[in-house]
Chain A
Amino acid sequence: MISHAVDQVSTFAKDIDVLILLICGLVGFWFFVAEGVLFFLVFKYRAKEGGKAAYIDGTDPKHTRFISWPHRLILLCDVVIVVAAVRVWVEVKQTMPTPDQTVRVVSQQWSWSFQHPGPDNKLDTADDIKTLDELHVVAGQTVQFELVSQDVIHSFSVPVFRLKQDAIPGRVIKGWFKTTQTGSYDIQCAEICGIGHGAMVGTIVIEQPERYAEWVAGHAPVAALATPAPK
């Protein structure tokens, strides 16, 4: 449904889509049943000449069971949804697989800047590659990100990953994703951050290892230019 229009490019994108489908099925069922009953009743009990309405106060179990059984079934559906939602949530937000690479994502009014670990695959060393609005990662690798903000609250959102995380000034928030295919996709800011919010876009470039290595080789700073460690 969503994957029809938005690719699934992270390992958990599929899980989130399945969860959405599950909820869709359950709530869709109740929605159509309730609407169906509503329209049926309005049609069946429309005012007729000389008709008289029933006198029902809704305390007789003979009548209340039409409410209480759906009630219990909805509770059951709720339990199913909670279990499914928490499973996905724990996978995306509460586990941290060993990363192949760690990048720093810095948000500010109104652009993204990224700090790649460079050839030595360590952050905050002299060979880090800093880019503006373009994040490069290797397809199939697990990437950990450290999300920070320079000024106001932003939100790091990559729809093809089904991933979203607010960036809070004063905090470092860690998260992860594992890409499944190559391509370049939007990174969007999903929290209003001022007049430039509507133009705060970045690109994530997912490449095969060889292409990525070429990019690193072409962009790594000269080792002599020591990069000051960020605060």
Chain B
Amino acid sequence: MTTTTAPHHADAPTAEHVHDAHDAHEQSFFTKYLWSTDHKVIGFQYMITGLLMAIIGGYMAYGFRMQLAWPGEWIPGVGFLSSGRYNAFITTHGTVMIFWFAMPVLIAAFGNWLIPLMTGCDDMAFPRINRLSYQVFLISAVVLIGSFFVDGGAFGGAWTAYPPLSSKATMNLTPLGSTLWVVAVALEFVAFLLGGINFITTAMNARAPGMSMMNIPIVVWMIVVASILFMVSVGPLVAGAAMLVFDQQLGTHFFDPGQGGDPILWQHLFWFFGHPEVYVVLLPAMGICAEIITCNARKKFFGYKTLIYTVFATGIISFFVWAHHQFVAGIDPRMANVFTITTLIISIPIAEMLFLFIATLAGGQIRLNVPMLWALSFVAEFLLGGVTGIFLGASGSDIYFHDTYFVIAHFHYTFVPIAVIACFAGFTHWIPKMTGRMMNETIGKLHFWFTIIGFNLVFLPLFITGAWGDHRRIYNYDHFPDLTNAAMQDLRIASTVGLLIMIAAQGFFVWNLLWTWLKGPPAGDNPWQATTLEWATTSPPGHGNFHPMPTVYRGPYEYSVPGAAADFTPQHLPPA
């Protein structure tokens, strides 16, 4: 702790100077917040954009859940939801939540905040490419939102965009919306390729002296592996996106079966990316929770190297499981057997990771503060998402469960812990560092419990409606005699009520943000008594992050070291 006080004083005069004198050196609002190359500012840009996009995705969810609970009724704030609008809503919800919420927040925002701070350097290796990445990302978001306002409306062929539905305007009835959708997704890919190269290069090459590969904090490892997975898996889909746009706008026949094309080709390109993509967002989420759990259990991570190896194993196996999304899609049925085996194999490293998280708790001194509650609930909830995946990875039972609400419940039990729970875990853990102010614990706990209760109420009933035969992407079940009964409708209403609770719970989050902004007590350099490098500098870190630049002497999780005076030994502290 003593080492961090000196830079604090050294930095303070500069800050005051900028504040007092409106001299020529002061950066304008534009250069400081919108045109900045500082990784912390870009992290905030991604975080804020991601959370705003989550509001859009949540609004879509509100619209279609209300329609499903009370079909055909007028929905406050949405109006009547026709089948075409319903399809546009579900498509945009899926696309936004994965590409414009989970990825920017978990990879880009936390990657930008944490990689330079945790590896002890002053910025990203390529600050201007970093800025470009955010700008391309912002354009992609604008294009996607714009697609709602063109002739024919937004694309409604689901986030998987299977052709020929997605490729032929005569069939999807959204001639411009479908192209704008592909263009937006492709631009988002470009943004994350640029960002990913930056993350990988920075973590590989710009680490503080003394930080060996096995001294890197888990979350940095996870974001880097996720970026590599993304880069390798997305290539074929970038080519696929070009082919799809050509089919839509030039009239080529890549996916047109009538003219020698093959619609299944798109499914292979899409899922070859789509399945690794799950791990692209899962790994950073797990990394965030690993940091928080070790810190708040006051314990070393149980089996750091084992975890890194299981991450590699997961990454590699994830490239050989994609066709489990296509068991009943008309592929050669013999392929299903191969992919059942690979899919069940991937359960081993994932189970291993969760066991390591749980084992880390044994023998700890667990502080149940707000970030820790979020991180523990990530493990608890993700377990259910993980085990229900077995039903879908096993070919025989997938025949029945494919494209039912069971699938929806399953992957929301993975994606909500990933994108919502881990996001709040990381947010509440690191916002004291990024803003210099503590959040309110009581409001934070209210936010946590209401969100968790709402979340479970949304998706537990959907396992049942799915098992009872509810298909996905149906705007009104009244058309299906077998699905029109009071018991199933009650479950659908329960799910919608859960969503309303979950949305209302975010009021606590907004309240907490305002409280933190107006009344939050100063955080100090290291409010959680954590060991990693970002806590060695001021909160918020000044320009250049560290003064002087830190040197690393030990691994990232030296908590409760026998014989040490404090129960944490920071990485940058020289050995006595």
Residues of A whose CB lies within 8 Å of any CB of B are: 1-2, 5-6, 15-16, 19-20, 23-24, 26-28, 30-31, 34-35, 37-39, 41-42, 45-48, 51-59, 63-64, 66-67, 70-71, 74-75, 78, 81-82, 84-90, 92-94, 109, 151-153, 155, 157, 159-160, 162-171, 173, 185-186, 188-199, 201, 203
Contacts and interface: CB of A to CB of B under 8 A. Distances in A.
Contacts of A54: 299, 362-364, 560
Contacts, number: 297
A195 B396 contact: no
A86 B338 CA distance: 9
B366 A46 contact: yes
Contact of A94 (B162, B334, B383): B334
A173 B257 CA distance: 14
Interface of B: 82-84, 86-87, 156-158, 162-165, 168, 171-173, 257-258, 262-264, 297-306, 327-330, 333-334, 336-337, 340-341, 344-345, 347-348, 351-352, 354-356, 358-368, 376, 379-380, 383-384, 387-388, 390-391, 394-397, 399-400, 402-404, 467-469, 471-476, 479-483, 487, 559-562, 567
Given A186-B481, A186-B483, A38 B379 contact: yes
Contact of B164 (A6, A57, A151): A151
Contact of A89 (B163, B336, B352, B483): B336
A191 B403 CA distance: 7
A16 B399 contact: yes
A19 to B, nearest CB: 5
A165 to B, nearest CB: 5
A47 B366 contact: yes
Contact of A2 (B347, B468, B473): B468
A41 B391 CA distance: 28
A64 B387 contact: no
A38 to B, nearest CB: 5
20 contacts: A5-B469, A15-B396, A20-B400, A23-B397, A41-B361, A42-B366, A45-B363, A53-B560, A54-B299, A55-B559, A71-B355, A78-B344, A85-B340, A85-B395, A88-B396, A90-B337, A152-B163, A163-B399, A188-B471, A190-B471
A166 B340 CA distance: 18
Contacts of A19: 394, 396-397
A199 B83 contact: yes
A66 to B, nearest CB: 6
Contacts of B472: 190, 192
Given A46-B366, A193-B165, A82 B400 contact: no
A22 B549 CA distance: 57
Contact of B348 (A16, A78, A186): A78
Contact of B479 (A34, A78, A201): A201
A2 B480 CA distance: 18
B333 to A, nearest CB: 4
Contacts of B300: 55-58
Leading 10 A-B pairs by shortest Cβ distance = A170-B257, A88-B396, A54-B363, A58-B303, A85-B394, A58-B302, A159-B469, A27-B387, A53-B560, A85-B396
A162 B399 contact: yes
A176 to B, nearest CB: 12
A71 B416 CA distance: 26
B365 A51 contact: yes
Nearest to A91: B396
Contact of B340 (A27, A86, A185): A86
Given A169-B258, A191-B162, A81 B390 contact: yes
Contacts of A88: 395-397, 399
A189 B472 CA distance: 10
B402 A16 contact: no
Contacts of B163: 152
Contact of B480 (A84, A164, A193, A201): A201
A164 B303 contact: no
Nearest to B88: A195
B163 to A, nearest CB: 8
A54 B559 CA distance: 9
A153 B161 CA distance: 11
B87 A197 contact: yes
Contacts of A89: 327, 333, 336-337, 340, 395-396, 399
Most chain A CB within 10 A, of B164, B380, B394, is at B394
Given A85-B395, A164-B400, A66 B359 contact: yes
A68 to B, nearest CB: 9
B397 A85 contact: yes
Contacts of B157: 192, 194
Contact of A192 (B87, B304, B355, B390): B87
Nearest to A110: B83
A27 B480 CA distance: 32
Contacts of B168: 152
A155 B298 CA distance: 52
A38 B297 CA distance: 13
A197 B376 CA distance: 40
A186 B469 CA distance: 10
A38 B330 CA distance: 41
Contacts of A82: 340-341, 344, 394
Nearest to B164: A152
Most chain A CB within 10 A, of B156, B480, B483, is at B480
Contacts of B394: 19, 23, 81-82, 84-85
B474 A34 contact: no
Contact of B297 (A53, A87, A165, A199): A53
Contact of A166 (B329, B366, B367, B380): B329
Given A6-B469, A23-B397, A53-B299, A67 B376 contact: no
Contacts of A47: 298, 365-368
Nearest to A71: B352
B396 A153 contact: no
Contacts of A109: 171
B482 A63 contact: no
Contact of A31 (B328, B384, B404): B384
A13 B258 CA distance: 35
A152 B165 contact: yes
